[in-house]
Amino acid sequence: MSKPIRRTAAAVAAAVAAALALGIGSAVWATSSASAAPVTTATRATGAAHSASTASDQLFPPVCTAGDLAVWVSHDAMSGAAGTWYYPLEFTNTSDQTCRTWGWPGVSATNANGKQFGDAAARNGLYSAAWVNIAPGTTAHALLGYGAAEVSTSGCKPQNAALLKVFAPNTKDASHAFFDLPVCTVGGKHRYLSVSVITPGTNI
């Protein structure tokens, strides 16, 4: 029992005791009930406001930040043909609240010290962008395209990457995922990475 309820109960008990001594129990009880009524009304109003706030949070949770998400590449789920391989780029919500995201992540390959190799991933228009809610412990994904044929072309000067530097949509802080494939170190015409918008669920 909370302190306000204990205080209210104690006040009512004291009033009833006094009323019994004076023989005016009904009047005092009515007055005590009336004075307690606003507490009940306020509690209901607060509860309704809380329910409305909770419903709003469920419909429009906060936008996911780098601190909310663990980012990883599902190497075993690779598919592809014609010199392009596709990997699920997974975004797992490691926070204790649902967050939402929309659009394309920013992706580039780097060495272990964070130096970028070549150009950042181009946007793949395979899917239309839409808001995606990611509940705690669940995962959404984007499709990461890797141009194996482009990396093997003359002038690309490939080196093995160590990491992907990933910016979740609409964020300024990056997360990192392990990625040790050969990548182009020369930018400009060598577009070897692409990425789709984030869509619900894993792709593994």
Residue-wise pLDDT tens digits, 56-103: 556 789 999 999 999 999 888 899 878 999 999 999 999 999 999 999
Segment of 10-24, 44-58, 140-154 carrying the highest mean pLDDT:
140-154
Kind plus residue range of the DSSP H or E element containing 14: helix 3-22
Structure tokens at 3: 């302190």
The whole-number pLDDT of residue 187 equals: 85
pLDDT given at position 57: 54
Q: What single DSSP character describes residue 96?
A: S
Strands (E) located in the chain: 69-73, 79-81, 84-93, 99-101, 106-110, 116-117, 122-123, 132-134, 139-147, 159-160, 163-167, 174-178, 182-183, 193-195, 199-200
Q: Which two tokens stand for residue 78?
A: 């690779």
Identify the bridge partners of residue 73 per DSSP, sorted by sequence position.
Answer: 89
Of the candidates 197, 57, 69, 61, the one whose C-alpha atom is nearest the C-alpha of residue 141 is 197
Q: Minimal CA–CA distance to 91: which of 58, 113, 119, 68? A: 68
SS3 string, 153-184, reads CCCCCCEECCEEEEECCCCCCEEEEECCCEEC
How many C-beta neighbours within 10 Å does residue 148 have? 14
CA–CA separation, 102 and 99 (whole Å): 11
Span 142-190, pLDDT tens digits: 999 999 999 988 789 999 999 999 999 999 999 999 999 999 999 888 8
The pTM score is 0.70
> How would CATH label the architecture of 66-200?
Sandwich (2.60)
